[in-house]
A and B are shown apart, each in its own frame.
Chain A
Amino acid sequence: MALLRRSETVIAGILLLAMVLIGTINPAFWQLDNLFSLMRSNVIIGIMAMGVLLVLISGGIDVSFPAFAVAAMYLTIKGMLALGYNGVVLPLLAATLMGLAFGAVNGFFVYKFRMIPLIVTLGTSAMVRGFLLGVVGTSMININKMPTALIDFARTDVVSVTKADGTTYGLTAMVLIYLGLALAMHLVLRYTMIGRSAYALGGDPEAARRAGFDLRKTIFFIYCVAGALAGFAGLLHSGMIWLANPRDFVGLELDVIAAVVLGGASIFGGRGSVLGTMLGVFMLVMVKNSLIIMRVDTTWQLVVVGLIVIAATALSAWRDRRRAA
């Protein structure tokens, strides 16, 4: 049974089990408004996870994307306020391009100096955050100043339901953006040579060089896309929470990397899929969400996420070693 051996099947199974378990402890879990809010929480982490997936497949790691996301978001909104511009498409494009430019810096160091991606991205992350707070500003931009177009855009629902008590809730249309980007990433990874070159690079860099892949192109592509997705997600996030906080996304790298590894991507590179990542993101968000519902302290949530990273990495390392044997 090839289907049973796929890691996605296993992850989906675990996810289902966890959902049943959580649903038993807390029947409110299965209510539509909770599920809708869960899916809403998937959007930002999920979009960022697509970039991290690409980096992990190529054998690298990226811890700089939260910094890039916050910088792209804050700079864009500051710019919008300064120019008095109120729109959606151009700002999203600007944030995406900013993230892309940051990512290119990562790519430059990883390719040109053959540096370890962890060190490069730790460094760029610190620099970008420091620059943002030191030069651009530390003050939050609240709902009263936030560009209204962004908030209105992020408020769009696909479906909305009216409860018996008259309140309404809905499924945000941002989910569609997430799904669209995920589909695009799947197509890139599976059906383009640049996507396959990421797998080749993660599998065996030396063999990839000998085979004639243009590794410069591949590495720049990978880090630029990861940065671009982060920038895009950053601005979208501020629209969804009606707030631009230059200290946002601290510690988010752990959540996202945990989700991607939970989704079956190998921390050693060469393995990973979009479907698995989406399942991993859902699982992580669901677990965190349930901890909140169960009134577990936020510090303990950190412990749980840390545990998930370790357990999922150990599991995938064990799997890879068994496969190689």
Chain B
Amino acid sequence: MSDGFIELRNIRKVFAGVVALDAMSLVIKPGEIHCLAGENGSGKSTVIKIMSGVYRPDGGEILIDGKPIAAMTPIEAIAHGVQVIYQDFSLFGNLTVAENLAMNVHLGEKRRLMNWRRTRAIAREAVDRLGVELDLDAEVASLPTAGKQLVAIARALMSDARLIIMDEPTTALTRKEVETLFRIVRDIQARGIAILFVSHKMREMLEISERITVIRNGRKVAEGPTGDFDEALITRHMTGGDILNEPYAWTPPPGPPPVPRLEIRGLTVPGKCEDLSLAIRPGEIVGLSGLLGSGRTDLALALFGMVPGYKGEILIDGAPVRLRTTQEAIAAGIAYVPEDRLTEGLFLPQSIKRNMLATSYERLAPKLVIDRSQAEEMTQGMVRAMQIATPTAEKPVMQLSGGNQQRVVLARWLLTDARVLILNGPTVGVDVGSKAEIHAKIRELAQHHGLAVLMISDDVLELVQNCNRIVLMHRGCFIEDLPAAAVTEETVSDRLKTFT
């Protein structure tokens, strides 16, 4: 039975009366790549913290090499070779790669003095062991996300790890970087180190893992070799139901073609994008993809009035507008949901209500005093319409799941009567169930409210399923404008891969 390196048996964990984990069991065999799948809030991070000794379970057993561990502490977990790579990597941006790598060794040896030569030697060894190129003298803050991740992995490997837990490791990576990461993960596995990949991205799980455990609401609902699973099955386990995925169809209304909701003519942002022209008609959802740095975000920012120096014309419903500030963009009917909703879009400690109304205060308070009853009415209506799971609109946004947070951002823009909706990575970091709901909402907005939607995403499947057209961008130019019905995820991905 116990052929696992680490095993959780019937773990139970309760936080302030709320059961986070119940009868949770998980076996990780030595040297395997195991995936822990589950939606946000399903208990994945609690599992990580129990395995790494941060939380003490309220019931159940933890076994390592078949022997029960009486009380797992972080130090004991590390001593047994359990290493966690957190989503934020836990690195010191102001220090060099070398010092970041050697820090734990120095601390472990309880040193008082800093030996720089030894620091370099330790770091050199760690980097060589991982088999990657890293500038040891570079400041970590200057590295791209993928580079920071390499440093974090190299550091985890140094401590004679037997299991490396990676929490959502692919979130901020491009497709190419994900491939590099997977190659490294397989390398690590070849040395007999097990990997626990915690994720909600199904294609990545299926690609990398050997076994999958799916949890839902704090319980294990499925477990088995990866070969037994496909995307639909994992989704069903994760959400407890099927999710429909029909491509979005848009047919122009009969008669003369309608005036585009959003039209850009020869839009140029010096050094970022060049001579872009595009028309989006009411009800259309247009996808925009390209590698990072292709200029897609610059286009979005220009449309939202954040690049006042742009050249070219922007027309809303046929009327030319000049967008020099975000206020002007909002007044013109443009809404922008940024890539990183956590840092750019939301005031996390503030209530749902305040977040929703953040861009509507001018309308709510024409004479400086806020119309409270109208504000209440608007928020209640939106909480219902967007199906945000909360007992009250006074709840701080940071207590909501990622999907619900995204819905709050969408709700905010709907309240401004936006006519053009620009979404930048609308479902990054959102679990499958919420993702489908957000997609349904976006489609509904386009179809029934006549919005023009520009959806920017790295997730090609998301674009293929939800857009009627897909525009590919590279080095600041539009390369192709494809009808979504004529393409598949593979053809678009292959096309993107030719851009370098």
Beta-carbon contact of A204 and B93 below 8 Å: yes
Cβ of B281 to closest chain A Cβ, rounded Å: 36
Q: Is A307 close to B, CB under 8 A? A: no
Asked whether A204 and B112 contact (CB < 8 A) given A212-B104, A323-B141, A324-B141, the answer is no
Instruction: Give the contacts of B109-149 with A (CB-CB under 8 A).
Output: 111-114, 116, 139, 141-142
Report which of B92, B107, B114, B139 forms a contact with A204, defined as CB distance below 8 A: B92
Cβ of B140 to closest chain A Cβ, rounded Å: 9
Interface size class of A (residues with CB under 8 A): 20 to 34
Instruction: Give the contacts of A12-36 with B (CB-CB under 8 A).
Output: none
Asked whether A324 and B93 contact (CB < 8 A) given A200-B103, A211-B103, the answer is yes
Q: Is B91 close to A, CB under 8 A? A: yes
Beta-carbon contact of B92 and A199 below 8 Å: yes
Bound form: Cα–Cα A206–B88 in Å: 10
Beta-carbon contact of B92 and A200 below 8 Å: yes
Report which of A191, A195, A203, A212 forms a contact with B94, defined as CB distance below 8 A: A203
Instruction: Give the contacts of B78-95 with A (CB-CB under 8 A).
Output: 86, 88, 90-95
Bound form: Cα–Cα A298–B90 in Å: 48
Task: Encode A305-325 as 1/0 by CB contact (under 8 A) with B.
Answer: 000000000000000000110
Bound form: Cα–Cα A206–B86 in Å: 12
Instruction: Give the contacts of A180-213 with B (CB-CB under 8 A).
Output: 190-196, 199-200, 202-204, 206-208, 210-213
Cβ of A106 to closest chain B Cβ, rounded Å: 23
| A211 CB contacts on chain B under 8 angstroms | 90, 103-104, 107
Q: Is B39 close to A, CB under 8 A? A: no
Q: Is B49 close to A, CB under 8 A? A: no
Instruction: Give the contacts of B50-98 with A (CB-CB under 8 A).
Output: 86, 88, 90-95
Q: Is B106 close to A, CB under 8 A? A: yes
| A129 CB contacts on chain B under 8 angstroms | none
Bound form: Cα–Cα A208–B95 in Å: 12
Asked whether A193 and B90 contact (CB < 8 A) given A199-B95, A200-B95, the answer is no
Q: Is A288 close to B, CB under 8 A? A: no
Cβ of A219 to closest chain B Cβ, rounded Å: 17
Report which of B88, B92, B99, B113 forms a contact with A192, defined as CB distance below 8 A: B113
Cβ of B485 to closest chain A Cβ, rounded Å: 39
Asked whether A207 and B91 contact (CB < 8 A) given A212-B104, A323-B142, the answer is yes
Beta-carbon contact of B93 and A270 below 8 Å: yes
| A202 CB contacts on chain B under 8 angstroms | 94
| A237 CB contacts on chain B under 8 angstroms | none
Asked whether A192 and B114 contact (CB < 8 A) given A211-B103, A213-B107, the answer is yes
Cβ of B166 to closest chain A Cβ, rounded Å: 16
| A194 CB contacts on chain B under 8 angstroms | 112
Beta-carbon contact of B92 and A193 below 8 Å: no
Q: Is A271 close to B, CB under 8 A? A: yes
Number of interface residues of B (CB under 8 A): 22
Beta-carbon contact of A204 and B141 below 8 Å: no
Bound form: Cα–Cα A323–B141 in Å: 7
Bound form: Cα–Cα A2–B310 in Å: 35
Bound form: Cα–Cα A270–B94 in Å: 6
Beta-carbon contact of B106 and A193 below 8 Å: yes
Bound form: Cα–Cα A194–B111 in Å: 10
| A200 CB contacts on chain B under 8 angstroms | 92, 95, 103
Instruction: Give the contacts of A74-105 with B (CB-CB under 8 A).
Output: none
In the complex, residue of chain B having the shortest beta-carbon distance to the beta carbon of A195:
B114
In the complex, residue of chain B having the shortest beta-carbon distance to the beta carbon of A59:
B94
Beta-carbon contact of A193 and B94 below 8 Å: no
Cβ of B340 to closest chain A Cβ, rounded Å: 14
In the complex, residue of chain B having the shortest beta-carbon distance to the beta carbon of A190:
B114
| B114 CB contacts on chain A under 8 angstroms | 190-193, 195-196
Most chain A CB atoms below 10 A, which of B88, B91, B114, B139: B114
Report which of A196, A199, A204 forms a contact with B91, defined as CB distance below 8 A: A204
| A208 CB contacts on chain B under 8 angstroms | 92
In the complex, residue of chain B having the shortest beta-carbon distance to the beta carbon of A271:
B94
Beta-carbon contact of B94 and A199 below 8 Å: yes
Bound form: Cα–Cα A323–B142 in Å: 6
Task: Encode A48-84 as 1/0 by CB contact (under 8 A) with B.
Answer: 0000000000000000000000000000000000000
| B104 CB contacts on chain A under 8 angstroms | 211-212
Cβ of B489 to closest chain A Cβ, rounded Å: 32
Bound form: Cα–Cα A193–B93 in Å: 17
Bound form: Cα–Cα A194–B107 in Å: 11
Bound form: Cα–Cα A213–B103 in Å: 10
Bound form: Cα–Cα A271–B95 in Å: 9
In the complex, residue of chain A having the shortest beta-carbon distance to the beta carbon of B108:
A212
| A195 CB contacts on chain B under 8 angstroms | 114
| B139 CB contacts on chain A under 8 angstroms | 323
| A199 CB contacts on chain B under 8 angstroms | 92, 94-95
Bound form: Cα–Cα A213–B111 in Å: 11
Cβ of A203 to closest chain B Cβ, rounded Å: 4
Instruction: Give the contacts of B283-341 with A (CB-CB under 8 A).
Output: none
Cβ of A321 to closest chain B Cβ, rounded Å: 10
Bound form: Cα–Cα A271–B107 in Å: 21
| B107 CB contacts on chain A under 8 angstroms | 193, 211-213
Bound form: Cα–Cα A193–B104 in Å: 11
Asked whether A203 and B113 contact (CB < 8 A) given A196-B99, A212-B104, A323-B142, the answer is no
| A266 CB contacts on chain B under 8 angstroms | 94
Most chain B CB atoms below 10 A, which of A193, A269, A270: A193
Bound form: Cα–Cα A271–B139 in Å: 11
Cβ of B163 to closest chain A Cβ, rounded Å: 18
Beta-carbon contact of A203 and B90 below 8 Å: no
Bound form: Cα–Cα A286–B336 in Å: 50
| A324 CB contacts on chain B under 8 angstroms | 93, 141
Beta-carbon contact of B90 and A207 below 8 Å: yes
Instruction: Give the contacts of A93-141 with B (CB-CB under 8 A).
Output: none
| A206 CB contacts on chain B under 8 angstroms | 88, 90
Asked whether A193 and B113 contact (CB < 8 A) given A323-B139, A323-B142, the answer is yes
Bound form: Cα–Cα A196–B92 in Å: 11
Most chain B CB atoms below 10 A, which of A194, A204, A213: A204
Bound form: Cα–Cα A208–B91 in Å: 8
Cβ of A194 to closest chain B Cβ, rounded Å: 7
In the complex, residue of chain A having the shortest beta-carbon distance to the beta carbon of B91:
A207
| B141 CB contacts on chain A under 8 angstroms | 323-324
| A323 CB contacts on chain B under 8 angstroms | 139, 141-142
| A213 CB contacts on chain B under 8 angstroms | 107
Bound form: Cα–Cα A209–B173 in Å: 26
In the complex, residue of chain A having the shortest beta-carbon distance to the beta carbon of B112:
A193
Q: Given A195-B114, A204-B93, output 4 extra A-B contacts at Cβ < 8 Å.
A: A199-B94, A206-B90, A212-B104, A323-B141
Q: List 16 A-B contacts (CB under 8 A).
A: A190-B114, A191-B116, A192-B113, A195-B114, A199-B95, A202-B94, A204-B92, A207-B88, A208-B92, A210-B90, A211-B90, A211-B103, A213-B107, A270-B92, A323-B139, A323-B142
Complex A-B, nearest 4 residue pairs according to Cβ-Cβ distance, in ascending order: A270-B94, A203-B94, A203-B92, A207-B90
